[in-house]
Amino acid sequence: MAIQLAIDDTLINEACILGHFKNKEDAVINALREFINRRKQQMTLQKNNGIVFGVMENKFSIPANFDDPLPKDIEDDFYSATL
């Protein structure tokens, strides 16, 4: 289906350059796909947000200094092996 859109040339040209697209149509199609995927991810995160925070509730806090070692209650083989 052919649709005519009035899109700012500066925006479409920048998208073509950044995305290495051969033409404007490819840039628009890719932008729509990225938009749809992003919205689906946001919806999934919102839907499952309670589960993620429920698992981590009172188990983790943002450290004041990222150079400090991890608290013992969350340290495991993965964390101690990667630090």
Q: Please report, for the chain, the start and end positions of each structural domain, with discontinuous segments joined by +.
A: 9-59+70-82
Q: What is the pLDDT of residues 27-79, one digit of tens each?
A: 999 999 999 999 988 887 777 654 444 445 555 555 566 676 666 665 555 54
User: What global pTM score does this model have?
Assistant: 0.53
Burial of residue 57 (CB within 10 Å: 0-12, 13-18, 19+) is exposed
Other residues' Cβ atoms within 10 Å of the Cβ of residue 75: 12
Task: Categorize the per-residue pLDDT at 1 as very low, low, confident or very high, splitting at 50, 70 and 90.
Answer: confident
Tokens 């101690």 belong to 80
